Structure 1
């Protein structure tokens, strides 16, 4: 009996010790004092120029937020992982962040990895805001997914109105990247709106991702002598196409979507003539005199010694909108945060926004004109 009692006592002590150990390790002091928000972005690879500038904007916002007391009285532990612009890598990185205990997610930068994450995040009901994923179906992944930027089709409609109403065009041509959902989304909406406005589409030529020589397509376009040429692609391709367009004698006014942001950096100053007096839609202007924009510009320039891109500004806004939503929710409970995001009435660097029934922002579009390699403010086009 003594032996049995001793054994039971020992077993009781062992269970108590194990239980106590588990309780003390469920939350380290650091975990209890911080609030974890995760992000992914292409920090390496061919899309890194987008990912790095987007990450810089979000990091700047999080540093400011922490300096001003954090969120719900806790410091934000903001972790950014490299998605390399690849969908599989993005999902792996997102899952790692979930395992680390994030309460909300901001990202990705390009549309393809963003959509891949959105589909997984929807299953987790993770509050998610993409600053820059413009592909239309991203927010259709689930009611937990939102975006700060306007969509590709939204830009297509705006660009058609720019061509007709602002530039007075009658004829337009399009050179589309057939391998890009972004390019295709802008193009389809542009054509639909152009037809509605009475614009005559005189040429539509295509190319594939990775192409470097567009002279054959541009020669066909030049033969139609359009007033405007739409180039719905990112700035690297836009720089190549613009230069070759002028080489084959195209005199049309060139226009493009927000992917053009950075086109001047892709050209030697001696080649700025190719993009002179071109226009592109964007999310804000460095020339905007508002206190909010100028304060952001000053802080960004001081930290990174360069001007912020639209990706920087959008990510900065995404971080602050997430902060506002969590504080409005009053907790880190997922449904509460999602509801608060949905009800946002937010003034950011990239303008005032509310969300529509598809979780896309209703906001004005800034049009920039390129003059001597500089992106100058041209106009603001309000949504209908």
Structure 2
């Protein structure tokens, strides 16, 4: 009987301890948070997505290796979650919802194409999640709200840069334009080039449109009209895949005038697809691997060693966009979207493609470069300051 009572007493004491004692809380010494990326990993602009993914991966790896950030006394490092938008605004919007609601990202690097960023930005803005597009140059992207940033210059500057180059450097007086009227990027560049060229005294003798470069492969009707107008220059503010086809068809019909475009030309596949037809073409861009600055050359060497090819502007801008975001995150010492946003607004970040200081619309004021395809390679021609 005594033994039974003793057992009961011990059990009661254990139960009492269990009820009366509070479990000690253990404060984590390290944590990992998610950073999202939305890029066209498949489809007609897949080289853009691959370059951006690489640039972000390099920046995040360097950030984590350097110790990450300190948030409420806790060492915090970054895990990236990359989503493929396929070049589609609808797919990009779904990717943004997934990153924000399921992956609980503290920010989004992306999208690449302006039409996708215009679909993603309202979702990020409504959720209070900072978004920085590496390469979306349409002016409307950042106007969506104060959580939306970009790492690139905008189309009003880029279109005018090429208009000035054609008029002042090439000394040409007439031009033709062929553009995709279903894409905000292409339309914007076309309009700003035309306005800038005509303001200088030039004449746009043919202004031709097509719909959806992702599905269009025959441009002969528009090019026939352009050839009949006898321009001295052909402006193609489109992406590399369609530009290559347009120039092949133009050259086949004897339209051999100088040609140029914008940063959508920046892909090694331009030459792979277009061959001799794209030789001599000029385009505005954000970055040149031939920039002699030590910071740029260190990046070029590290990127080339890691990925087996030199970086293009998409890799450089994505590296800068991620680096800028992570620098702001470290400065803020917070995973709260508004804190990171405020730190980004006040940044003075020095990147590969320039020093970042944002204007009231969260657009950086940066220089452009003009590159030319020579012997199948991109060759630096000049830097144009704003």
TM over 0.5: yes
Runs of 4+ in 1 over 4 A off after TM superposition: 12-17
Q: Which has more radius of gyration?
A: 2
State the distance in 1 between where 2:122 and 2:82 align: 19
State the distance in 1 between where 2:361 and 2:77 align: 32
The one of 136, 139, 143 equivalent to 2:142 is 139
SS in 1 for 2:69: coil
1:265 is the counterpart of 2:269: yes
CA contact (8 A) 2:113 2:185 kept: no
**CA apart distance, 1:368:** 0.2
State the distance in 2 between where 1:308 and 1:372 align: 19
The one of 153, 158, 173 equivalent to 1:155 is 158
State the distance in 1 between where 2:347 and 2:159 align: 25
Change (3 A) 1:273 1:45: closer
SS in 2 for 1:206: strand
Which runs of structure 2 are paired with 1:64-213 in the superposition (5 Å)? Answer: 64-72=62-70, 73-98=75-100, 99-209=102-212, 210-213=215-218
Q: Which runs of 5+ in 1 are unaligned?
A: 1-11
The one of 237, 244, 257 equivalent to 1:232 is 237
When the two structures are aligned, how many residues end up with a matched partner? Answer: 367
Q: Which residue of 1 aligns with 2:5?
A: none
State the distance in 2 between where 1:139 and 1:192 align: 22
The one of 368, 376, 381 equivalent to 2:379 is 376
**CA apart distance, 1:36:** 2.6
SS in 2 for 1:33: strand
1:305 is the counterpart of 2:335: no
**CA apart distance, 1:377:** 0.3
The Cα RMSD (Å) is 2.6
State the distance in 1 between where 2:383 and 2:19 align: 68
State the distance in 1 between where 2:23 and 2:118 align: 43
Q: Which residue of 2 aligns with 1:250?
A: 255
Q: Deviations over 1:148-172 (max 9, x none)?
A: 0122232111111111122211111
Change (3 A) 1:119 1:307: same
Q: Deviations over 1:104-136 (max 9, x none)?
A: 221122222222221011111211111112222
State the distance in 2 between where 1:16 and 1:192 align: 78
**CA apart distance, 1:281:** 0.6
The one of 341, 344, 348 equivalent to 1:345 is 348
Q: Deviations over 1:193-236 (max 9, x none)?
A: 12211111111112222221222222221223222110010000
CA contact (8 A) 1:281 1:366 kept: yes
- Tell me whether 83-92 or 246-255 shows the greater mean CA deviation: 83-92
Change (3 A) 1:221 1:90: closer
CA contact (8 A) 1:231 1:238 kept: yes
CA contact (8 A) 1:235 1:266 kept: yes
SS in 2 for 1:79: strand
Change (3 A) 1:226 1:45: closer
